Amino acid sequence: MAEAIQDEVADAREAEPVWPGWLVATAICLRFYSRLPVPRMPGEGDIHTLPDFRLVPRAVPLAALVIGLPAALVALGAGLAGVSPLLAATLAVTALVLTTGGLHEDGLADSADGLFGGQTPERRLEIMKDSRIGSYGALALGLSLLLRVTALSAILTAAGPWGAAGAVLIAAIMSRSTGVALVANHPPARPAGASAAVGRPTRGTVWWAAGLTIVGSLAIAIGVPMSMWGLAIGSQLTALAVIRLGRLAERLIGGQTGDIVGAAQQIAEIAVYLGFALALSGVRP
């Protein structure tokens, strides 16, 4: 199996990447990052083959917007219906988990167990592949859920339902786009792993994703409207946290994995919510 994946990686690296178009690229990202049912797009090949992520992640911000939309609508609807902020935030986070199938939460738990539970890079990677959850993973999951729910609840209280819905969409875009830069800037920890097989995004892909993230986040913040200070703080916290995680992963396991990318998404989502919550409470950068 490992040899087959290595052959696939070698073939993929030799071939020039082909941009499939925005519609197909967005569909590929939706299938990769969520459990949403996405039909085969016109002109698309076999949807069950391993995607080439050298160019496709340009569309990650667009896919992330779709992924975050159900949770944003839940936060908006629950808030407008007069549901308590804590319950509305819990329902919104639940919608996020259901939309992704807990994909990112699983990556966070595996990363926490592996990075902090092993003594060597080999042992850490072995732990990360284990489907069982350990103490570090359980703590990471619990804290992630607690921080997201309470921070979103604070946003609902201070900015209302529309502000919370905007925060959910911005967090969805920003948290998934950071993974594009993470994969591009750090080598895969497993030469025969899935992260290596899908390829590393090109520099142009990273800039496309970053540009769409900035434009999309600003448009949502202006349209809701939402605190620009919150957007600034959240962006700073996200960058610092993901950069730190990438360096830690490279030092402890030699690079990034799919689990590390999932953990980065969770950390970045928390950072965005915290940025808005802090700004709404009067904190300025």
Collapse the DSSP code of 35 into the 3-class scheme (helix H, G, I; strand E, B; otherwise coil) and give the result. Answer: coil
**Residue 261: its pLDDT value, please?**
95
Residue 282 predicted with pLDDT over 90? no
Q: Could you tell me where the DSSP H helices lie in the chain?
A: 2-14, 22-33, 60-80, 85-100, 103-117, 121-129, 135-185, 194-197, 203-223, 228-253, 258-280
Of residues 181, 169, 233, the one with CA closest to residue 211: 181
Q: Which residue has the tokens 């940025």?
A: 275
Is residue 209 very low, low, confident or very high in pLDDT (cuts 50, 70, 90)? very high
Q: What is the mean pLDDT of residues 86-96?
A: 98
**Residue 49: its pLDDT value, please?**
76
Q: What percent of the chain has pLDDT over 70?
A: 92
Residue 2 predicted with pLDDT over 60? no
Cα–Cα distance between 78 and 88 in angstroms, integer?
A: 5
Residue 8 predicted with pLDDT over 70? no
Of residues 101, 21, 99, 29, the one with CA closest to residue 63: 29
Which residues lie below 8 Å from residue 199, measured CB to CB, with a gap of 6+?
9, 12, 13, 17, 52, 53, 54
- Looking at per-residue confidence, does 76 or 10 come out higher? 76
On average, the pLDDT of the chain sits at 91
**Residue 196: its pLDDT value, please?**
66
Highest mean pLDDT: which range of 1-10, 143-152, 199-208:
143-152
Cα 82 → chain centroid: 30
**Residue 5: its pLDDT value, please?**
47
**Residue 1: its pLDDT value, please?**
44
Using only C-alpha atoms, the chain has a radius of gyration, in whole angstroms, of: 18
Q: Which residue has the tokens 């920890």?
A: 189
Q: What is the mean pLDDT of residues 42-57?
A: 83
Phi/psi for 263 (5° steps) reads -65, -40
**Residue 9: its pLDDT value, please?**
47
| CA 107 to each of CA 64, 129, 229: distance values in angstroms, whole numbers, following the listed order | 17, 10, 30
- Entry pTM: 0.91
Of residues 52, 60, 47, 58, the one with CA closest to residue 196: 52
Written as one string, the DSSP assignment of 258-275 is HHHHHHHHHHHHHHHHHH
What pLDDT, in 10s, does the model give residues 132-191? Answer: 999 999 999 999 999 999 999 999 999 999 999 999 999 999 999 999 999 999 999 987
What pLDDT, in 10s, does the model give residues 92-102? Answer: 999 999 999 99
